[in-house]
Amino acid sequence: MKLTLSKLLLSFTCALMLLTLTPSIALPKAIALTDDRTQLRVTDEPVQRRCVVVASSGSYEADQHACDRALATMPSNAAGLPEGTYLFPGRDRRYADGICTYPSAVRPTAAEEAVCKQLLNSMGKARVTMAIEPERWVRGTDLKKLPVQAGRIMVSIGVSATGKASYCSVVRSSENASFDALVCQAILKRARFDPALDKDGQPIPSAYEREWIF
C-alpha cells in the first residue's frame, strides 16, 4: 500500500512539473480595448502579438499609437520560438496549412520546429481575411471629379465579422487629400470580404491592407 501511494505521489509530482514547464500553445481570447477614440482588438497569439483596429479614430497615426500602447502592456508569449517568428498561412489562407517563418539569420532547432508544428495544428479552422474582387472597388468614375486621376495610395481597411468595411485609413498618401478621400469613399461603398475566422471557424473582426496605383 505504501509503495503504491509513493508511486502515485511521484506520478503526480512529475505530471505537475510537466504542466509547469510545458509552454501553452492554446490560442488565448482577444481583449477588446478603447483608447481615446480608437477601438482595438488585441490578441496575444502564440508567436506574435496582434492588434486590429475595429473602429478608427479617423487618424491612422493615432490608431497606430493606440495599438503600440496596447501591445506594450501585454506580456511576451512563451511559445518557445525565437523572437520575431511569424506564422504564415498556406495557399488556402488557413494557418493550419501554413509555415513558421523565422527571423533572418536564425536557424530553428528541432525542438523549435516541433513547437511550430504544434502551433499550426492548434490553429484549427483559423483563416485570414480574404478580399472579394478588390480590383472592382475603386472605379474611374469615382475619380472623375478630380483634374488629375492618377496616384498611388495604400490604405488599411477594417473588416467586420460580417465581411463589410468598417473603416478606411490612409497608410501612405497619394499626396492629394481629395484623391485619398474619394478612394476611401469608394472602398467603404463597395469593399466586401470573406471575414477572418478564429480557430473554431467563427468570423471575427480583422484588418486588410492594400495598395492601389491609378
Average model confidence (pLDDT) across the chain:
76
Helix, strand, or coil here: 55?
Answer: strand
CATH of 130-213 among 3.30.70, 3.90.1070, 3.30.2420, 3.20.20:
3.30.2420
pLDDT in tens, 155-202: 988 888 899 998 888 888 888 888 899 999 999 999 999 998 888 898
Region 39-66 average pLDDT: 68
CATH 3.30.2420 maps onto the chain at 130-213
Q: What angle do CA 97, 136, 64 make, to 5 degrees?
A: 65
Question: Which pLDDT score is estimated for 149?
Answer: 67
pLDDT in tens, 100-114: 888 888 888 999 899
Single out the residue of 26, 53, 21 nearest to residue 38, CA to CA.
53
pTM for this one? 0.65
Partnered with residue 44 across adjacent β-strands are 49
Q: In this structure, what are the phi and psi dihedrals at residue 20, rounded to the nearest 5 degrees?
A: -70, -40
CB 81 within 8 A of CB 62: no
122: Cα within 13 Å, side-chain hemisphere: 16
